[in-house]
Copies of this chain bind each other. A is one copy, B any other.
Amino acid sequence: MFVSTYEGAIDAKGRVSIPAPFRAALGGSNRVFVWQAPDGSGALEGGGEELMELYRETLAELPLQSPIREAIVTCIIAASADLKIDDTGRVKLPEDLCEAADLSGKIKFSGQMDSFRIWNPERFSLHQMRMRSIVNAPETLDAFATAYNRVRQRRAAAGRGEVG
């Protein structure tokens, strides 16, 4: 589970330390995949072998000739960098990805549950501010609370007991 936000830095050799909690979330594997987040946020997105396996299964659900499948394969699978984590926990980010996400010097890692993101810090604060204004809208929290209660009730019905 990728949670929280961590600071990091790209060193003179283009190397980046993956935050230790994220390495733990990768399940001890020393392989990471990194690609451009497809939502236009300008960040990079990353995940481990487990996520890639999930993507593989997801793609298998889609018709072989569908444009959706083709687009995902091209923009995520083909566009991913397949990186090896060295024994001090670092990877070398390819230059083209760094340029695409405007990364140099200080960077931010943010957890997204199943994946994580790598940000230019300023872009991240901007994104944060935008998201905060959405969260402040009462209908956002309402919608989340409604979905949350649905999940809880489903759990309770399945006899999985209470939270906490």
| A residues adjacent to B (C-beta < 8 A) | 1-5, 21, 25-27, 33, 38-40, 47-48, 50-52, 54-59, 61-62, 65, 67-68, 70-75, 77-82, 110-114, 117, 127-128, 131-132, 134-136, 140-141, 143-144, 147-148, 150-152, 155, 162-164
Contacts and interface: CB of A to CB of B under 8 A. Distances in A.
Contacts of A162: 1
A114 B164 contact: yes
Is chain A's binding surface mostly helix, strand, loop or mixed? helix
A150 B114 CA distance: 14
Given A1-B163, A48-B164, 5 more contacts: A1-B56, A4-B33, A58-B144, A75-B131, A79-B128
A54 B153 CA distance: 11
A80 B1 CA distance: 12
Given A3-B52, A52-B3, A112-B77, A131 B71 contact: yes
